[in-house]
Structure 1
Amino acid sequence: MTKKIIFRADGNATTGLGHLYRLFSLVEVVKDTLEFVFLTHETSTLLVIPDTYTKNIIPESINIEDEPEWLASTFSSKEYIIIADGYQFIASYQKQIKEKGFKLIYIDDLAKEHMYADVVVNHSPYILETHYNKEPHTNFALGTQYALLRPLFLKEAKRNKTIKTIDSAFVCFGGADPFNLTLKAVKGLLQIPNFKSIHIVLGGAYKHKGIFNLEKKQSDKIKTYLNLSEEQLIKTMQKCNFAIAPASTILYELSCVKMPVFSGFYVDNQELIYKGFLNNEAIYKGGNMKDYQVSDFINKIEVIFKEHKFNHLIKAQKALFDDKIASRHLNLIKELCLQ
């Protein structure tokens, strides 16, 4: 019997939406082949979960310590495997899930926990198996060969591209942007004459108001977008020839579309991804952006224009992704569903 899949992730304005979106990419890979349910906590931003997905909601009264017991009472380990993405799924959680009899794939980007999962996926180009402590049965799927990307981005990754001029910027700092880096980056870009247009993508958990006031004042240059579909996001990226974004899922997507990206990190889970892209010379060095001010963005971008290595970065981005990523994920999941 082929088992069904429980995709398990949470996301809201506090935690961001990255864990949800990464699992969405895997849902798109398997949805025509395997049955699934998308499982999230009642505190998640439920509106971002596609209507076409079969959903199940964990009641707010169930905390993470109680969750393995709740899962085992709600779903049969003989019928389902679990694919989980989130920092709350620590070693003790994984151990309990395994003790309940479930097969478990864990999406990781910190390499800090002892791993009890059957398979650990970490798509950072920096990570190695030696970074982990694990159980004997735990296997790994590491690097950009297992990039968590939606189908249209995988298609874009195959295309060639050359940048001849830089005059249109793309800015995105994730679903929540807790440090309001979007506003600071855009204010910096407005001070650089090269940029004729700035396209800003905001997530479903974005709560700041300043960027909308700035858009009203600079409507000839600035355009904001909210909750774009995969196709709309690609079309927006294709209007641009430079980007500012953190080392999260959005960096993988930008690298598939291909353009010079000024990238850094502002939370722990982005740092290993950042190091990997930097080591591959696929981004411009931004470092820790948590305390960035407008002047930092201006100074760094001015240096980038002096270096003029745009197409060197694009070539490095293309080398990170091949055309077998979706089939690798599907085969990995299918294998566990058959056990």
Structure 2
Amino acid sequence: MTKKVIFRADGSSTAGLGHLYRLFSLVETVKNTLEFVFITHETSTNSVIPEEYNTVIIPKEINTLDEADWLQANFSSKEYIIIADGYQFTSSYQKQIKSKGYSLIYIDDLAKEHIYADVVINHSPYIQEKHYKKEVYSKLALGTKFALLRPLFLKAAKKNRAVKELDSAFVCFGGADPFHLTLKAVQALLLFENFKSIHVVLGAAYLDEEIFNLEEKYGRKIKIYRNLSEKKLIETMEQCNFAIAPASTILYELCCVQMPIFSGFYVDNQELIYKGFLNHKAIFEGGNMENYQVSDFVNGLKIIFENKEFNSQLEAQKILFDDKITKRHLDLIKSLC
């Protein structure tokens, strides 16, 4: 009997929505092949989960320590495997899940936990096997050949693109943007006359109202989007020939579309991804953006404009992603079902 798949992740205005969106990419990979259920906590920002997904909510009173027992009571390990993405799924959580008889795939980006999962996926181009401590049976699926990307972005990665000038910018700093980097980046871009349009994508957890005041003031130049579908997001990216974004899932997606990107990190889980893309010369160096001000974005943009050769960066982006990513993920999941 082929097992069904439990997808397990949470998201919030403080923790961001990246864990949810990464699992959405795997749902899209398996949904026409395997039965699945998407499980998230009652405290999570669940409005972003697609309505067509079979979704189950973990009650508020169930904490991470109780979760394995709750899962066992509701979903038999004889019928389900688990794919989990989130920092709460530590070594002890993984041991608990394994003790209940589940096969477990853990989506990771820190390489700090001892791995008890059957498989760990870490799609950072920086990470190597030597960075992990794991059980003998644990398998590693590392690098951009296991990139967690939705189908339309994988399709876009097959195309060739060239950029001759920078005049249309894309800005996105994730679902929450706790350091107001979206606003600062847009304020910096407004100081450069060559940008005729600035496309700003906000997540469901974004709370800063000041960006809308800028849109009202510069209505002909700034366009703000929220809660975009995969199709609309890729269409918006394709209108742009430059981007400012952190080293999170959005960076992978932008590299698939191919354009010069000014990127950095502001939380731990982004740093290794950032180092990997920088080592491959696929992005412009932004470094740690946690304390960035408008002037920091301005200085970075000035350096980029002095660099007239953008297409070598696009070539570097293109070689990171091949046409077998979907098959690799599907084979990996099926091997446990």
Say yes or no: TM over 0.5.
yes
Match runs of 1:118-157 below 5 Å? 118-157=118-157
Q: Cα distance, 1:309 vs. partner?
A: 2.5
Code of the residue aligned with 2:191 in structure 1: it is Q
Tell me the residue number matched to 1:193: 193
**1:31-78 deviation line (CA, Å, top 9, x unaligned):** 000000000000111110001100000001001111111111111000
Unpaired runs of 5+ in structure 2?
none
Tell me the residue number matched to 1:76: 76
Q: Matched residue of 1:235: which SS?
A: helix
Q: Matched residue of 1:115: which SS?
A: coil
Q: Matched residue of 2:65: which SS?
A: coil
Which portions of structure 1, spanning 4 or more consecutive aligned residues, are displaced by more than 6 angstroms?
none
Match runs of 1:157-168 below 5 Å? 157-168=157-168
Q: Cα distance, 1:307 vs. partner?
A: 1.4
Cα RMSD between the aligned structures? Answer: 0.5
Query: Kindly, what percent of the aligned residue pairs are identical?
Result: 71
Match runs of 1:1-339 below 5 Å? 1-337=1-337
Q: Matched residue of 1:133: which SS?
A: coil
Q: Cα distance, 1:302 vs. partner?
A: 0.6
Rounded to whole Å, the distance in 2 between the matches of 1:80 and 1:308 is 52
**TM-score in terms of structure 2 length:** 0.99
Rounded to whole Å, the distance in 2 between the matches of 1:308 and 1:89 is 44
Unpaired runs of 5+ in structure 1?
none
Rounded to whole Å, the distance in 2 between the matches of 1:111 and 1:169 is 33
Code of the residue aligned with 1:100 in structure 2: it is K
Code of the residue aligned with 1:274 in structure 2: it is Y
Q: Cα distance, 1:210 vs. partner?
A: 0.7
Code of the residue aligned with 1:108 in structure 2: it is D
Q: Matched residue of 1:245: which SS?
A: strand
Q: Cα distance, 1:297 vs. partner?
A: 0.3
Rounded to whole Å, the distance in 2 between the matches of 1:236 and 1:170 is 8
Code of the residue aligned with 1:226 in structure 2: it is R
Rounded to whole Å, the distance in 2 between the matches of 1:8 and 1:129 is 25
Q: Cα distance, 1:142 vs. partner?
A: 0.3
Code of the residue aligned with 1:114 in structure 2: it is H
Q: Matched residue of 2:296: which SS?
A: helix
**1:252-310 deviation line (CA, Å, top 9, x unaligned):** 00000000000000000000100000000000000000000000000110110001221
Code of the residue aligned with 1:312 in structure 2: it is S
Rounded to whole Å, the distance in 2 between the matches of 1:192 and 1:51 is 41
**TM-score in terms of structure 1 length:** 0.99
Rounded to whole Å, the distance in 1 between the matches of 2:308 and 2:289 is 22
Give aligned pairs, total. Answer: 337
**1:80-115 deviation line (CA, Å, top 9, x unaligned):** 000000000000000000000000000000000000
Code of the residue aligned with 1:89 in structure 2: it is F
Code of the residue aligned with 1:239 in structure 2: it is Q
